[in-house]
Amino acid sequence: MSDKRKKQKRRKARRAKKRTRPACGLCGSTENLTKTECCGNWICDDEHEYVMFSYARNSCYRNHRRYTLCGLHHTEGHEGNWQDCDQCREGMETEMYVHYGTNEYNFEKLSNPPAYEPTRCHACGEVIVLGDGGYSMKGEDYFCPKCSAKRMNELMLALQGPKSNAPDRQPEKDSANGSLREWLNDVPDAYAVRFSEVVKLTDAFCDDHLNVEYKELCREMAVAVCQDGSAVLKGKPESWAAGIVYSLGRVNFLSDPSQTPHMKSKHIAEGFGVSVATMQAKSKVIREGLDLFPFHPDWCLSSLRESNLLT
């Protein structure tokens, strides 16, 4: 065989190899690939590049796992196909369900997505795109960034109380360590409203079902979660409050009946009026962001620290 023929054959073999080489189904890259656990598609093995609580969208693997129905369906352990899963459908609002099923992080998009009315700011009526974030909530009502800032200012004025010529006095203490005003000093202004909403819920829950130790740790964790770049502004405050209690419960083995207090996860979810799946999804975000593990020294109940070798 002539040299020319050999070169042609080698070029043809390289082209064939290039055509059959796997590529990421999202960005097309052919380097450092792995397969998704949920659907078995080739994708960039790049989750290690993500910085916790940065909420950057620079990881193909993380984007598919965290922001698609396919990834959520697998993470939550739902049975059957995600395309017709009732648990996925009922676990989030229609607008977010459609967003998770049709965004650019999907290999296969949701066919015939359900119609929905646009979400509007409760105060000014401006359309809010839930998938983009940047909003706040109070109960079932959504508020755009502008109205959220206004609500935050009103909250800060209420916390400061009426002006007086009387000498300044120390903020009043409550049953936990320090007043809410003191905790707010460590929370960015944009997250003050959400922090207050979440802490109000966790305080009431701990007063009714747990104790002061859990109440204080819930406040500390709410401060840690309500920081710049956090996703805590997305979703209902009840979901995040449940996620905080559940996360602390996992660290301190709240489900262990030999301890006092103790509580099962489904009862935590019921206490906040959310589904177990929703609570676990928020808890997963919190646990990953704070790198939580059982008996974590920073999040261990003071009553357990003497027996905690990690402290």
Is residue 14, in this structure, part of any structural domain at all? no
Structural domain including 146 reads 118-161
Is residue 72, in this structure, part of any structural domain at all? yes
Q: What is the DSSP letter of 197?
A: H
Same domain (yes/no): 276, 150 = no
Same domain (yes/no): 244, 141 = no
Helix (H/G/I), strand (E/B), else coil: 148: helix
- Who contacts 308 (Cβ-Cβ below 8 Å, separation ≥6)? 295, 297, 300
The pTM (predicted TM-score) of the whole model is 0.53
Same domain (yes/no): 134, 194 = no
How many separate domains does the chain show?
3
* pLDDT over threshold 60, residue 308: no
What value, to the nearest 5°, has the Cα angle with vertex 212 and ends 248 and 172?
125
Is residue 6, in this structure, part of any structural domain at all? no
The answer to whether the beta carbons of residues 32 and 39 sit under 8 Å apart is: no
Same domain (yes/no): 178, 302 = yes
Is residue 8, in this structure, part of any structural domain at all? no
The answer to whether the beta carbons of residues 55 and 39 sit under 8 Å apart is: no
Helix (H) or strand (E) run with residue 188 in it: none
Residue at a domain's end among 78, 102, 126: 102
Is residue 235, in this structure, part of any structural domain at all? yes
What is the spatial distance between Cα 178 and Cα 176, in angstroms, rounded to a whole number? 6
Same domain (yes/no): 27, 129 = no
CA 7 to chain CA centroid, nearest Å:
55
Same domain (yes/no): 187, 139 = no
Same domain (yes/no): 42, 89 = yes
The answer to whether the beta carbons of residues 45 and 29 sit under 8 Å apart is: no
The answer to whether the beta carbons of residues 175 and 212 sit under 8 Å apart is: yes
Is residue 296, in this structure, part of any structural domain at all? yes
The pLDDT of residue 5? 73
What is the spatial distance between Cα 64 and Cα 49, in angstroms, rounded to a whole number? 15
Pick from 13-22, 53-62, 102-111, 216-225: least confident? 13-22
Same domain (yes/no): 74, 157 = no
Same domain (yes/no): 127, 40 = no
Helix (H/G/I), strand (E/B), else coil: 69: helix
* pLDDT over threshold 60, residue 310: no
- Who contacts 161 (Cβ-Cβ below 8 Å, separation ≥6)? none
**What are the structure tokens assigned to 209, written together?**
């079902």
Same domain (yes/no): 52, 130 = no
What is the spatial distance between Cα 44 and Cα 107, in angstroms, rounded to a whole number? 13
Is residue 111, in this structure, part of any structural domain at all? no
pLDDT digit string (tens) for 177-204? 556 677 788 898 888 999 999 999 999 9
The pLDDT of residue 255? 82
Crossing angle of the two packed helices 192-209 and 212-225, in degrees rounded to 10: 160
Q: Is 40 exposed, middle or buried (0-12, 13-18, 19+ CB in 10 A)?
A: exposed
Is residue 109, in this structure, part of any structural domain at all? no
The pLDDT of residue 170? 38
> How far apart are the two ends of the chain, measured CA to CA in Å?
74
154 vs 190, residue with greater confidence: 190
Same domain (yes/no): 196, 254 = yes
Same domain (yes/no): 157, 77 = no
pLDDT digit string (tens) for 244-291? 999 999 888 888 777 788 888 889 999 999 888 889 889 989 988 888
Most confident of 9-13, 65-69, 254-258: 65-69
The pLDDT of residue 82? 95
How many percent of the chain have pLDDT more than 90?
A: 40
The answer to whether the beta carbons of residues 159 and 184 sit under 8 Å apart is: yes
Pick from 37-51, 72-86, 131-145, 260-274: least confident? 131-145
